């Protein structure tokens, strides 16, 4: 009886795996075609970034398909089931009027690389689980280090994104400081006695992951000192100097500065060269968060905005923001590879000391992850298929459209633009009609109504406690006409809302 069940099962599960030989190839092709057909069907019908359904509608549709059964169900049937409720009801990030967050339309080579990544399922922790992939990632790390301007001493590792890269930057900065200040090894001995005095400075508009990382690293959120920004939303360098001096006078220990290279909201770039000079002078660790600004590394026109990035001790780059990669794809880079050793931990089964002696590369040494995706392949395929010049010009194009958007909004009476000369590709603005009313509430309603109708997806953010609207233009296919249409839509929507409210 037991034997029969096992034999039955063997034939039953066979077809769910990748298989070798002539049959294997055909088998794979048939399955992929089903998926391609499903997606193609949906793409054909997409005419707005969102379907414009209510949360209740979406939940109800999902309820119909989320019951799980003990019995297998044919792939084509399951695909048919999820086509509407999941695929169609998604936010269509590749639509030209999807312009809310730092959430990019992925380029096809990146999307297709995901299929290869999944099918090969290499793990980047030890060389024997990714014999070729390890060297692809190494080559790409070197490539990006070169783009940053690091010497051969630079090194990097792929990460899940900016949050993880910032965490790594804050970890290395903490441990390097404890080592040089007290010869204290945090990895072995935990936090030093004076840890409560340690301080990191960053812009008050830095990404929240900086604070979160420092807090998770045991130093507490209060170890992060927010530095005020100037009107252009760049960190005030004079304030950095003044605050470091003040901290020192108070007996505290400032040890690192985070320079945001492209803030999430405004794309504003902190004064990199000045910060690099200051950090050098004071012996502070400089971490550059270029999760957004990384796109500029390929721009021939605008990469001067990153001048000084090569002087950072560590850098965060995201490829899934302004470099058109599917999530997730990011990198952490350091100017001096010796610092990555602060991360390594020898596990006999993954990275035995003998491997290192023989020159075998086990990337687990450089990462805070163990099993890790072969995301470098997406970046390789994209760089090769598109070429770096075209990629750079795609970044330039989004900047062109952003300048246009800022100008156009500035021209229209009822709008106030918070960053009239956008540094990157984000424009923050508010609709401010004549008359006294709750402007924040109006802007919130505009954003919500556009979202609910699905005609355009824009973001809202808070400026000095008020609700503002935001375009994050990451799609080089978004044109001036698209922007005009969305601005018109905002005006019309506002009028509808105001028309419906007696005041
Ligand atoms: C998005 C962003 C991050 C976080 O990156 P994830 O890839 O979302 O983890 C960090 N810093 C900045 C400036 C960002 O814009």
For residue 44, the domain's CATH number is 1.20.1650.10
This prediction's pTM: 0.95
Q: Is 500 strand, coil or helix?
A: helix
Instruction: Look up residue 197 and give its two tokens.
Output: 């005095």
Ligand 1 atom 4: the closest Cα is on which residue? 162
Could you tell me if 191 and 298 lie in one domain? Answer: yes
In a domain, 142, yes or no: yes
Gap from CA of 291 to ligand 1 centroid (Å): 5
Which residue among 49, 67, 90 closes a domain? Answer: 90
Q: Is the dihedral of CA 187, 328, 115, 388 positive or negative?
A: negative
Ligand 1 pocket, 429 CB below 6 A?
Answer: no
279 and 403 assigned to the same domain: no
| Count of structural domains, the chain | 3
Looking at the domain assignment, is residue 2 inside a domain? no
250 and 330 fall within a common domain: yes
Tens-digit pLDDT profile for the chain (503 aa)?
444 555 555 578 999 999 998 899 999 999 999 999 999 999 999 999 999 899 999 999 999 899 999 999 999 999 999 999 999 999 999 999 999 999 999 999 999 999 999 999 999 999 999 999 999 999 999 999 999 999 999 999 999 999 999 999 999 999 999 999 999 999 999 999 999 999 999 999 999 999 999 999 999 999 999 999 999 999 999 999 999 999 999 999 999 999 999 999 999 999 999 999 999 999 999 999 999 999 999 999 999 999 999 999 999 999 999 999 999 999 999 999 999 988 877 666 667 777 777 778 899 999 999 999 999 999 999 999 999 999 999 999 999 999 999 999 999 999 999 999 999 999 999 999 988 689 999 999 999 999 999 999 999 999 999 999 999 999 999 999 999 999 999 999 999 999 875 44
Q: Is the peptide bond before 439 cis (omega within 30 degrees of 0)?
A: no
Pocket test of ligand 1: the residue of 104, 163, 266, 293 to mutate, having most ligand atoms within 8 Å of its CB, is 163
Q: What is the pLDDT of residue 12?
A: 81
Could you identify the residue written with the tokens 């099962």?
9
Q: Of all atoms in ligand 1, which is nearest to the CA of residue 293?
A: 13
The CATH number covering residue 475 comes to 3.90.1150.170
Task: Evaluate whether 62 touches 85 at the Cβ level (below 8 Å).
Answer: yes
Shared-domain flag, residues 259 and 326: yes
How far is Cα 253 from Cα 296, in angstroms, rounded to an integer? 33
Is the same domain home to 297 and 416?
no
**Do 361 and 397 share a domain, yes or no?**
no
Instruction: Give the atom of ligand 1 at the shortest distance from the alpha carbon of 206.
Output: 13
Q: How far apart are CA 120 and CA 136, in angstroms?
A: 14
Residues forming beta bridges with residue 333, ordered by sequence position:
156, 315
Asked whether residue 111 is assigned to any structural domain, the reply reads: no
Q: Which of 370, 386, 402 is the last residue of a domain?
A: 386
Residue 272, ligand 1, Cβ within 6 A: no
| Residue 138, both tokens | 């190494």
**Contact call for residues 278 and 242 (beta carbons, < 8 A):** no
277 and 425, same structural domain?
no
Q: Is the CB of 162 under 6 A from ligand 1?
A: yes
Q: Are residues 197 and 300 in the same domain?
A: yes
Q: Give distance in angstroms: CA of 48 to centre of ligand 1.
A: 26
**Span from the CA of 295 to the centroid of ligand 1 (angstroms):** 13
Say if 453 falls within a structural domain: yes
103 belongs to a structural domain? no
Is the residue at 328 inside a domain?
Answer: yes
Query: Domain of 433?
Result: 389-498
Please work out whether the CB of residue 372 comes within 6 Å of at least one atom of ligand 1: no
Domain assignment of residue 101, yes or no: no
Sign of the Cα pseudo-torsion (160, 165, 170, 175, in order): positive
208 CA → ligand 1 middle, Å = 9
332 and 463 in a common domain: no
Judge whether 207 and 164 are in contact, CB under 8 Å.
Answer: no
* Claim to verify: residue 184 and residue 291 sit in the same structural domain: yes
Q: Which of 386, 403, 427 is the last residue of a domain?
A: 386
Question: Are residues 251 and 288 located together in one domain of the fold?
Answer: yes
CA of 240 to the centre of ligand 1 (A): 23
User: Is the C-beta atom of 209 inside 6 A of ligand 1?
Assistant: yes
Q: At what angle do helices 480-500 and 439-453 cross, to 10 degrees?
A: 120
Rounded to the nearest angstrom, the distance between the alpha carbon of 4 and the centre of ligand 1 is 53
Domain shared by 362 and 441, yes or no: no
Q: What backbone torsions phi and psi does residue 207 show, to the nearest 5 degrees?
A: -65, 145
Atom of ligand 1 nearest to the CA of 264: 15
Q: What DSSP designation does 131 have?
A: T
Give the residue whose CA is nearest to atom 5 of ligand 1. 162
Does residue 503 belong to any structural domain of this protein?
A: no
As to burial, measured by CB atoms within 10 angstroms (0-12 exposed, 13-18 middle, 19+ buried), residue 309 is buried
């Amino acid at each position: 009886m037991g034997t029969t069940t096992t034999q039955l099962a063997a034939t039953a599960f066979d077809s769910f795996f990748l298989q070798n030989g002539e049959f294997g190839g055909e088998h794979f092709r048939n399955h992929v075609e089903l998926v391609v057909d499903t997606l193609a069907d949906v793409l054909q019908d997409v005419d707005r970034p969102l379907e414009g359904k209510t949360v209740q509608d979406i939940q109800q549709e999902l309820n119909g398909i989320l019951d799980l059964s003990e019995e297998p169900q044919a792939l084509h049937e399951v695909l048919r089931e999820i086509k509407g409720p999941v695929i169609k009801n998604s936010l269509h990030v590749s639509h030209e009027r999807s312009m809310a967050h730092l959430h990019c339309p992925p380029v096809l080579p990146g999307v297709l690389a995901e299929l290869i990544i999944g099918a090969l399922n290499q793990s980047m922790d030890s060389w024997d689980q990714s014999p070729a992939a390890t060297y692809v990632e190494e080559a790409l790390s070197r490539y990006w280090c070169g783009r940053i301007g690091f010497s051969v001493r630079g090194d990097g590792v792929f990460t899940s994104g900016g949050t993880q890269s910032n965490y790594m930057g804050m970890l290395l900065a903490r441990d390097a400081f404890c080592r040089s200040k007290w010869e204290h090894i945090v990895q072995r001995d935990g936090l030093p006695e004076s840890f409560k005095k340690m301080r990191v400075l960053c812009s008050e508009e830095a990404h929240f992951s900086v604070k979160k990382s420092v807090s998770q690293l045991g130093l507490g959120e209060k170890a992060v000192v927010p530095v005020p920004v100037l009107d252009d939303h760049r960190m005030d360098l004079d304030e950095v100097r003044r605050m470091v001096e003040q901290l020192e006078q108070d007996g505290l220990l400032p040890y690192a500065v985070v320079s945001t290279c492209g803030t999430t909201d405004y794309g504003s770039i902190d004064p990199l060269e000045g910060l690099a000079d200051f950090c050098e002078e004071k012996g502070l660790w400089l971490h550059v968060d270029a999760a957004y600004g990384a796109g500029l590394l390929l721009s021939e026109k605008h990469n001067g905005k990153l001048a000084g990035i090569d002087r950072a001790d560590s850098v965060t780059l995201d490829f899934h923001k302004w470099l058109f990669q599917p999530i997730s794809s990011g990198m952490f880079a350091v100017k001096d590879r010796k610092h990555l050793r602060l991360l390594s931990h020898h596990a006999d089964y993954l990275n035995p000391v003998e491997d290192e002696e023989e020159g075998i590369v086990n990337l687990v040494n450089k990462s805070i992850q163990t099993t890790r995706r072969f995301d470098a392949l997406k970046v390789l395929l994209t760089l090769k298929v598109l070429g770096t010049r075209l990629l750079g010009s795609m970044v330039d194009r989004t900047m062109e459209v952003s300048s246009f958007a800022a100008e156009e909004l500035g021209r229209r009476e009822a709008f106030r633009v918070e960053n009239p000369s956008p540094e990157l590709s984000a424009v923050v603005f508010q609709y401010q009609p004549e008359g006294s009313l709750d402007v924040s509430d109006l802007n919130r309603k505009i954003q919500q109504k556009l979202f609910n109708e699905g005609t355009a997806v824009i973001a809202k953010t808070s400026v000095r406690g008020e609700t503002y609207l935001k375009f994050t233009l990451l799609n080089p296919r978004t044109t001036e006409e698209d922007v005009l249409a969305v601005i018109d839509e905002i005006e019309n929507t506002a009028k509808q809302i105001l028309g419906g409210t007696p005041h």
